[in-house]
Amino acid sequence: MRFLPDTFDVLTNAQMKTFDGNRLEHSPVSNHTDHAIMGYEYKFKFLSSDHLWIMKKTIKSGFRWRPRDIYAHMNSNWANFLVKLSYSDIVAFFKEVKQDAFTGISFDVNYYVDSLASNDIYELKTYDPQVSNFPGERTASPDEIRTLLMAAAEAKLDVNVINKIYVSRAYEPPWGGLAFGGGLDPQNTSTFFRNYENLVLPLAKLLEEYHVKSWLVFDEMDTLEQSPDLIRRLFDDLSMVYSGELGIDEATNNMMTGDSYLSGEPPHQKSFEQIAGRCWDWADRRGTHMIRAYSCWAIPMETQKDQRASLMPVGFVRFWKPALDFYHQLFLSNPDMFGEIGVYDADGVCLGGRKY
């Protein structure tokens, strides 16, 4: 969900109803639960090999946000599902997305590095379990991206694109386990940025061709955000080719909890100010400021004792207030976007508690 500065507001208009509880949702019995968005018809879709099954349920109570844009985010390995659908099927699905009140779709373009210290970044043309973190993930081809953009345009949906950088599974960091891209520590940062720009310039031209509305060039890259001059130079060059809005989706949860990968090692306690990005004063030649996207897993919202959906916006705003206040005092003109957001202890949002 995306908001312009100073429009982060909430409307609540709940009609209370009795809720009998649902063991599968970890929901208690309640006589004051207004779970979902009032007046919306929810469609639960189950895709089998040969059929799309749809179950519908109309909800008569809840709350509403007032964002500028609402993107339906596609699964990160969307390209593997795309090849199973005809173009007309994709368009028909996107038209359903638009009918569900979304203003656009959002999808990932994945890139890979062999180690945290590597200067080289590359496309993974085909799925490789020794490299990819998740089953089926790879880099979507230009033709697959083009098909998606054409279908979105035909369905009259805006598009937001997110670049993600994954560290190869074959690399084992000194502390063991899988390496998170937020800890990238290239041997030569200038070389890394130059290589990255050469890699994404063709994508910039493709996104421009289809008038893509917004593009988050980095996703949760803690260490790379500490190179504001290189980011500004990259964005200057990309903005000469791509006229849409540019931005970064930062791992805001690392900043808010004091965890950081700035040393290229497991998280260490740092202050919010030490981790926070310093590149947000960038604007393109038309004066359009960078999108600042927030990402956090997971937000503690309400308890199991009172899970009213109308209370969730209050907790949401309270949780984000320190980050919003910090950035808005320094950089007043940047639009805000909320990207990957996990919520626990809030019925109907994320099931299974904090470790889900």
What letter represents residue 219's amino acid?
D
What pLDDT, on a 0 to 100 scale, did the predictor assign at position 48?
A: 59
Q: To which residue do tokens 């949760």 refer?
A: 220
Write down all domains in the chain, each with its CATH number in brackets.
2-344 (3.20.20)
Q: What is the pLDDT of residues 232-263, one digit of tens each?
A: 999 999 999 999 999 999 988 888 888 888 87
Q: Looking at the predicted structure, is the pLDDT value of residue 175 above 60?
A: yes
Span 314-328, average pLDDT:
85
d(CA 120, CA 188): 10
Chain segment 81-137, per-residue pLDDT in tens:
888 899 999 999 999 889 877 899 999 999 999 999 999 999 999 999 999 988 889
pLDDT score recorded for residue 19: 47
199: pLDDT strictly greater than 90? yes
Closest Cα partner for 153 from 112, 107, 213, 79?
A: 213
To the nearest whole percent, how much of the chain has pLDDT over 70? 72
Give the DSSP letter string of 270-282.
Answer: --HHHHS-S-TT-
CB 73 within 8 A of CB 107: yes
**Per-residue buried b or exposed e for 251-282, using 16+ beta carbons within 10 Å of the residue's own CB:** bbbbbbeebbbbebebbeebeeeebbbebbeb
- Mean pLDDT, rounded, for 320-339: 89
Listing DSSP states for 128-168 in one string gives -TTT-SSTT--PPPHHHHHHHHHHHHHTT-EEEEEEEEEE-
- Residue 168 neighbours by CB under 8 Å, 6+ apart: 112, 113, 114, 115, 130, 131
- The two tokens of residue 78 are 């969307």
Taking the C-alpha atoms of residue 48 and residue 52, their distance in angstroms, rounded to an integer, is: 6
Q: Which H or E element spans position 184?
A: none
Task: Please tell me the predicted confidence (pLDDT) of residue 302.
Answer: 56
Check pLDDT > 80 for residue 299.
Answer: no
Point out the least confidently predicted range of 54-63, 154-163, 199-208, 326-335. Answer: 54-63
The secondary structure element, H or E, covering residue 54 is strand 52-58
Q: Mean pLDDT across the stretch 64-76?
A: 79
Residue 63 near residue 9, CB atoms below 8 Å:
no
